[in-house]
Amino acid sequence: MLADGIGLEVAGPALAEALGRIFLARPLHALVAESNDDQLWSLADELRHDYGMTTTTLDLRTWSPGDRLEAGPRPEIVITTDSNAREARAIAEQLGVDVFEVAMCPDLFAEVERLLATDHVYFVVSDRDMVDKVRRALPGRAARSRLHVLVLNEDDVTIIPEHAPVYLTRLTRTRPLPAFLRHRGMAESRVFSTQSARALMEIVVSRGMSVAPPPRRARIAAPRARRVRA
């Protein structure tokens, strides 16, 4: 990014100052469109904290084609995952904005697949509609027999063995948990894949640069050499 700025004749310090303005000035407003509470929460949470966006969430289970969105800030982009891309594209077309499909935590699922080869793995989610999404993300034979997806406050989470690997969604972690689950859970530093994170940051920066472009470095003509007689 710094090299790109210099290529556009924007000095490094000016680019750094401009990036600061991008995140402190009027933020990009995103509409998060999903069909379960867990992903509505996690997508919006990461967009706010990592990309400085403001967000509105839309539960697609309550939406039908042609529905008008509730009054509020006008979204400038629609964010979703591949399983809800068709609905999100329809909403984005209605709004006249772009849609961005996020790829979700591939590193986490790769680690879960590795563990499933030998262990039973437990997911604790907050929304019943998240159960099928987790299972679709881990479709192998081992997952069918060793993957257990439980819904907090609906399923019996006390069946989780003491030393079994456990993953708690971000939304689940915000809710009152049984004591034995409070300090458990596989680490998840980010929800979005590296590729999605990079593309989202480019969108934020490009939009910010168009709103408040950094000053270009002035061109200074090199002085002509003068012949001096001794």
Is 70 exceeded by the pLDDT of residue 212? no
- The predicted model scores a pTM of 0.80
Q: Which residue has the tokens 């084609």?
A: 65
Whole-angstrom distance, CA of residue 208 vs CA of residue 214: 10
Same domain, 99 and 19: yes
Same domain, 166 and 110: yes
| 57 strand-pairing partners | 32
Whole-angstrom distance, CA of residue 199 vs CA of residue 100: 9
Domain contains 98: yes
Find the domain containing 141 and state its range. Answer: 106-181
Using an 8 Å Cβ cutoff, are 75 and 93 in contact?
no
Number of domains in the chain: 2
The CATH number of whichever domain residue 37 belongs to comes to 3.40.50
pLDDT tens, position by position, 22-80: 666 678 999 999 999 999 999 999 999 999 999 999 999 999 988 888 777 899 999 99
pLDDT tens, position by position, 159-203: 999 899 999 999 999 999 999 998 887 766 678 999 999 999 999
Whole-angstrom distance, CA of residue 82 vs CA of residue 63: 17
Same domain, 86 and 195: yes
Same domain, 58 and 140: no
Same domain, 40 and 90: yes
**Residue 101 contacts by C-beta under 8 Å, 6 or more apart in sequence?**
80, 81, 82, 85, 88
